[in-house]
Amino acid sequence: MNFHMKICFMKTPSFALTLASVFIFVPASVALADGLRSLEQNASGLGVAYAGSAAVADNASTVFYNPAGLTRLPEHQVSLGITGVRHNYAFDDNGSFGASGGDGGNAGRWRALPNAYLSWAVNPQWVVGLGISSPHGLHTDYDDDWRGRQFMVEARLRSWNFNPSVAYKFSDKVSLGLGLNYEKLKLETNWADGASNTLSRSDSDTAWGWNAGALFTLSPAMRVGVAYRSSLAFDLNAAQPFPGINRRGELKTPSSLTLSVWQQVSGQWEAMGDLSYLRWKDVNGYGHDGWRFAWGAAYAYNERWKSKFGIAYEHGAIRDRNRSAVLPDNHRLWFSLGGQYRIGKAAALDFGYAYQWVKTPDIDQRGSGLRLTGDYDANSHVLGVQYTQDF
């Protein structure tokens, strides 16, 4: 971080002012965690831990991260990808009582997050886009005989988001974008009663939201992006306590605000940074707002090959007293690697990997004469691939 900042201060003094404005813009007292939110909606940003997400705008997936970035793309473009997320949650008991059984094995499971994006320039000023993604979800699945089975055996939350967008280029320096979000959410839960009989419930709902962004090109070597995504409210019922669902059966996702910087440091190096503010306070059971910080860089070996790396930090927004076996999440530290291979002038293949270290989540869940107390060995792996084609 310090090395990158020194380079940028020497190359472009305005970068120092912009970076400082990022830290002033977002309050330092807030706390964060992704929780039910999945940021992994492309593979091109995975290699840099999604740093610069609202400013990079190098393919049609900018529909999700900042629709204003559509004005930077070729006349027509399609981008298709898939990201796999594997959470690992291994419970270690520390004095639970009320039910016998094992520790549940590894409750984490792979989740596939497919995505597809399209951009289409109507004229030199107006561009339309469409994104299909899965921005919210989780999947935890314990062994059937584990000691916490009366709280939860399996929980699966899936989403499908359709995001039509439009962007307008006011000048070579300023573009604005706006998108609508129509999302379907499905929740499936399994648990056991006192006699260890398996019970289950499934529910789904749809909601509307919006996202918007602005992209400022300060120079040919520097861009700043600002992007906002609204919250979504779903009517879901869960017979067992579920993160985010209040007593009325409403699950409200957090709104988010992101400020990003991208800079071409030299002919081969580019660097980018992010600060994201998430309004988790309005989500039942979280209690804190949050922030996410990410920094990344890319190095172009030649016209075809580019390597990427990045780090990110997320501070857990779930209060310790509200943490449950459904989502034993905590603070996260990302370490990302990736690359890009250009297939001629009109196509590119992006790929990436991230390891997420999770601070040990403690749990003390109680109810109906039961107590589940212990901690988790937790981490995550993320893999992604994406193909982009101009036409």
Question: What pLDDT is stored for residue 32 in this prediction?
Answer: 30
DSSP 68: G
Which pLDDT score is estimated for 241? 65
What is the 3-state composition of the chain as percent helix, strand, coil, each rounded to the nearest 5? 10, 55, 35
Cα-Cα-Cα-Cα torsion 377, 112, 186, 141, nearest 10 degrees, comes to: -30
Tell me the CATH number at 222. Answer: 2.40.160.60
Give pTM, 2 decimals: 0.88
Percent of the chain with pLDDT over 90: 71
Q: Which residues of the chain fall short of a pLDDT of 50?
A: 1-34
Q: What is the mean pLDDT of the chain?
A: 88
CB burial readout 7-32, b (16+ within 10 A) else e:
bbeebbeebeebbeebeeebeeebbb
Question: Count of domains in the chain?
Answer: 1
* pLDDT at residue 327, as a whole number: 86
CB 371 within 8 A of CB 356: no
Count of C-beta atoms within a 10 Å radius of residue 98: 15
**What pLDDT is recorded for position 208?**
98
Residue range(s) defining the domain that contains residue 373: 2-390
